[in-house]
Structure 1
Amino acid sequence: MDKIAELSPEWQSWLQDNLARGCTPQSLVEVMVSHQFEPMFANAIVFHFSALRQVPAAQASEPSAGQRAAQTGYQYEAPRLAPAGNTIQTHDLTVRVVTRINKPYVVVLENVLTAEECDEMIRLSSDKLKRSMTVDPKTGGDAVIADRTSYGAFFAINENPLIANIDRRLAELMSWPVENGEGIQILNYKVGGEYKPHFDYFPPSDEGSKVHLGQGGQRISTLVMYLNDVPAGGETIFPELGLAVAPKKGSAVYFEYCNSLDQVDPLTLHGGNPVIEGEKWIATKWLRQHRYGG
């Protein structure tokens, strides 16, 4: 896990010692946050060390995806996006399945958007871009953090004919009602722009999550759509899976992380690698458990 390199040997030893003593992961996260670690970073690191403790020493350096899935306690259910087949038919496009991972459920897709749709979304959002925010874990308000260096804009559901048609297609693709989706977010990353590993769901233990959970429930899945080709860098990474998805215009990566028991899947830790050359444009769609009221 790349993030370990950012944690001092002293903190790594502290985590290992306290996990061995039987301290709960949540208590260790709280201590790290009190020492000015970002909550998402602390959650990811503690989960990683906790997972390593639960496999035999001979396997600890390279646990399989299946082993890691079992360690989380997350109960995997039938995926909402087609669990089999190489294509998914929507009302106007045939979407191609390129790669599928089952635990966690991650699918790389092609032909999700046309080239013209990609270009038009970039054009329509270019004048609306503002510095991207994240959720403050204590208050639920918006916050700017150094871990996220993109600029973004939102389209409301059915904001115009273009967005309405895309929203319809995505609802068909992900087998979930249009009204349960947040508006499409457009993000632009220049050279050096990145989003360090994080979770898209709202951590249930964070006080600030209550605000967002009251606006349609938990996020259950994400679709990241690539609006342009990136010459170098900008991959969507899943550190716990060793997976990196390179941006390709019109393609997307989809992943699920909340089940019917309200459990959330920490194996969907993901991020955006720094853009090395050119720029990156993406459109993100988050789905909620219920009708979205944000």
Structure 2
Amino acid sequence: MAEGKAMAMQLSVQVASWLHAQVTGGAPLDQVLPALLRQGFDELQVRRIYNAVLSDPDGFKAGFSRAAAGQPAVAHRLPQGQVTAPVAPADGTVPAQLPFHPVAMIPADARTIACDHGGVHVAFRLQRPHVVLFENVLTGEECDALVAEAGPRLQRAGVVDSERGGSRIDERRTSELAVVRRGASPLVARLDARIAAITGVPLAQGEPLQVMRYGVGAEYQPHYDYFDLGRPGQAAHLRNGGQRIASLVIYLNDVEAGGETTFPRCALSVGPRKGSAVFFAYTDAQSRTDPMSFHAGAPVTRGEKWIATRWMREREFT
């Protein structure tokens, strides 16, 4: 009854009925994923079947209801891309879907988070997209030490190759970067633990830090951090750790001019300040992603910008 762009996937009436009840009842993806993997589907197939129910529950139900009644099953075309969270239209009406709550939300009552070096302070928060500005994430000395540790290994930054996987050079991203694995040094191990304490996301779900340098004119044009199921090269990244759920961008120096982190769809701009960090979460338990998290690194117009970025996943990343 379920049909993909280049493949057909058959579900029994019992499994289809169970899946429909689970998804419409709000079951998270990680609750149904193991059961369908045991049925012989791979993870990308499971996500597409799950998304078919999520995006069109009535149409999906009609298909297996016909089969249950002994009528010919109706093929149901599977969504090829991500299911995005609804955005309230201009008239203020509420979309008829479950409310969107990112899994990596920072608690609303968080003001100061006790860490090994003192308190990390919440300076600003926005509900949608879920953006939080932290102060005192790193000390000035730690910022300088991380730059010194990563600087000698800088190379031109790439972007995810959406068709073939891996990464490729693209003019949308004109920084230099060094990948710093978890626990690479005593300094990095200390920062790893601190990031987990601040965000609430276990360290095992974090990708390696990327330390980046942006010179004058360098930028990262507007983009999403999460992966698109409809792009083969991006979907391939889901096999290790699942979808990205949140990003933390730590500012390692004060920039003379430019270099802001911008969110064009909500007219938000965060200026880089040494030791502070901007956190944004964009994926919920049903793996819906937030189009409001569209963001960019504005061009540096004077001086240079150093940042350290950590992307976080749905489950353990190896």
TM-score calculated relative to the size of structure 2? 0.69
Counterpart pick for 1:214 among 210, 231, 239: 239
1:257 aligns with 2:292: no
C-alpha change, 1:79 and 1:210, in structure 2 (3 Å) is closer
Q: Answer yes or no: is the 8 Å Cα contact 2:156–2:177 preserved in 1.
A: yes
**AA of the residue aligned to 2:90:** V
The corresponding residue for 1:100 is: 125
Counterpart pick for 1:199 among 218, 224, 237: 224
- Give secondary structure in 2 for the equivalent of 1:240: helix
- Give secondary structure in 1 for the equivalent of 2:232: coil
Q: Answer yes or no: is the 8 Å Cα contact 1:233–1:276 preserved in 2.
A: yes
- Give secondary structure in 1 for the equivalent of 2:149: helix
Deviations 1:246-277 (A, max 9, x none): 00000010000111001111100000111011
Listed as ranges, the gaps of 5+ residues in structure 2 are: 1-80
What is the distance in 1 between the residues matched to 2:170 and 2:96? 30
1:148 aligns with 2:183: no
What is the distance in 2 between the residues matched to 1:246 and 1:102? 19
Alignment: residue pair count: 235
- Give secondary structure in 1 for the equivalent of 2:109: coil
Deviations 1:161-193 (A, max 9, x none): 000000000011111111110111001000000
Deviations 1:88-111 (A, max 9, x none): 122333101111001121001100
- 4+ residue runs of structure 1 moved beyond 4 angstroms? 67-74
What is the distance in 1 between the residues matched to 2:255 and 2:128? 28
1:83 aligns with 2:101: no
Percent identity between the aligned chains? 40
What is the distance in 2 between the residues matched to 1:74 and 1:132? 36
Q: Answer yes or no: is the 8 Å Cα contact 2:228–2:235 preserved in 1.
A: no
Q: Answer yes or no: is the 8 Å Cα contact 2:216–2:302 preserved in 1.
A: yes
Q: Answer yes or no: is the 8 Å Cα contact 2:104–2:200 preserved in 1.
A: no
Listed as ranges, the gaps of 5+ residues in structure 1 are: 1-42, 57-66
Counterpart pick for 1:123 among 148, 151, 154: 148
The corresponding residue for 2:257 is: 232
Deviation at 1:69, TM superposition (A): 9.2
1:163 aligns with 2:188: yes
What is the distance in 2 between the residues matched to 1:55 and 1:206? 30
What is the distance in 1 between the residues matched to 2:314 and 2:243? 6
Deviation at 1:68, TM superposition (A): 10
C-alpha change, 1:198 and 1:68, in structure 2 (3 Å) is farther
**AA of the residue aligned to 2:260:** E
Q: Answer yes or no: is the 8 Å Cα contact 2:261–2:297 preserved in 1.
A: yes
Deviations 1:53-81 (A, max 9, x none): x535xxxxxxxxxx699699872256532
Q: What does 1:9-158 align with in structure 2 at a 5 Å threshold? A: 54-55=89-90, 75-77=100-102, 79-158=104-183
Provide the aligned C-alpha RMSD in A.
2.3
Deviation at 1:208, TM superposition (A): 1.2
C-alpha change, 1:74 and 1:138, in structure 2 (3 Å) is farther
What is the distance in 1 between the residues matched to 2:94 and 2:141? 39
Q: Answer yes or no: is the 8 Å Cα contact 1:72–1:266 preserved in 2.
A: no
Structure number with bigger Rg: 2
What is the distance in 2 between the residues matched to 1:152 and 1:78? 28
C-alpha change, 1:212 and 1:266, in structure 2 (3 Å) is same
What is the distance in 2 between the residues matched to 1:72 and 1:91? 41
